[in-house]
Structure 1
Amino acid sequence: MGLTAEKRSADWLAQGGLRPTRQRLALAGLLVGDGEDRHVTAEGLFAAASDAGEKVSLATVYNTLRAFCEAGLMSEVVVDGSKSYFDTRMDDHPHFFWEDSATLTDAPKDELKITGLPMAPDGTEIAKVDVVIRLRRK
């Protein structure tokens, strides 16, 4: 028997040590309630919440997504230094950015080979490498 959306959402919040407030549970349900990974923008999640009848402000959506990231439940992928996407899949993996629809999807991890990185400057270490492959239709 599978997990219900409510149980999956509550368990997800508990993994990050977050208190299951009504708004967090509602947004978590939209993000992980069906067990699928997703890439969302704050505006897209706000629209989905509104469509679902949830009373939540865009500022609350932004704050909640940041809290989910800080709790290690999601990661933020920045495209063009200005557009943020939030990813529920937490393993290291590359992304495709579809320019025509401004959407982000997972790219095949096993097909990516990084054979070398530049040395980090003295006193620093590489924390993470983000790979975003931009696609445009021919």
Structure 2
Amino acid sequence: MVETGVVNLLRDHDLRPTRQRVALAELLFSKGHRHISAEALHEEAENRSIKVSLATIYNTLHQFTNAGLLRAVPVDGSKTYFDTNVDNHHHFFVEDDQEVIDIPAQNFTLGMLPEPPEGMEITRVEVVVRVRRKS
């Protein structure tokens, strides 16, 4: 994705295209759909000589998520991955590799959902299936 495309993408989502946001958006969206942690994105930024703190990475990822550019995929209380594919889908979390992968939609059927509390509506259902290699 060329920088102009990233700038337009950020503006289309009401985000000011700061130098750091543009640089991080380039890293995130230039490789197609993927799942990445804040720490892994920080490492990629450092490897490309992009000077940005881990706190700024977290803030930017949450801003992108709130703007609808990313989906947060929490895998446990302390670890969240960010998905560049914002379409409705579910995930496997490979415990051995600490990796998130998409579950193909045709391979997953969701049963009946519970009735939400009065005055509420279900906005999305996200399923993370934890897997590991057999011993």
Common topology (TM > 0.5): yes
Counterpart check, 1:8 vs 2:5: yes
Q: Unaligned regions of 5+ residues in structure 1, if any?
A: none
* Counterparts of 1:43 and 1:127, CA distance in 2: 29
Q: CA deviation at 1:96?
A: 1.0
User: Aligned match of 1:103 in 99, 104, 118?
Assistant: 99
Alignment-mate amino acid for residue 112 of structure 1: F
Identity %: 49
- Asked whether the 8 Å contact 1:8–1:33 carries over to 2, the reply is no
Counterpart check, 1:65 vs 2:54: no
Counterpart check, 1:42 vs 2:38: yes
Q: Aligned pair count?
A: 134
TM-score calculated relative to the size of structure 1? 0.91
Q: Unaligned regions of 5+ residues in structure 2, if any?
A: none
Q: CA deviation at 1:5?
A: 3.0
* Counterparts of 1:96 and 1:7, CA distance in 2: 34
Alignment-mate amino acid for residue 18 of structure 2: T
| Off by >6 Å, runs of 4+ in structure 1 | none
* Aligned pairs for 1:1-138 within 5 A: 4-34=1-31, 36-138=32-134
Deviations 1:58-93 (A, max 9, x none): 010001011101111111111123211111101100
TM-score calculated relative to the size of structure 2? 0.93
Q: CA deviation at 1:134?
A: 1.1
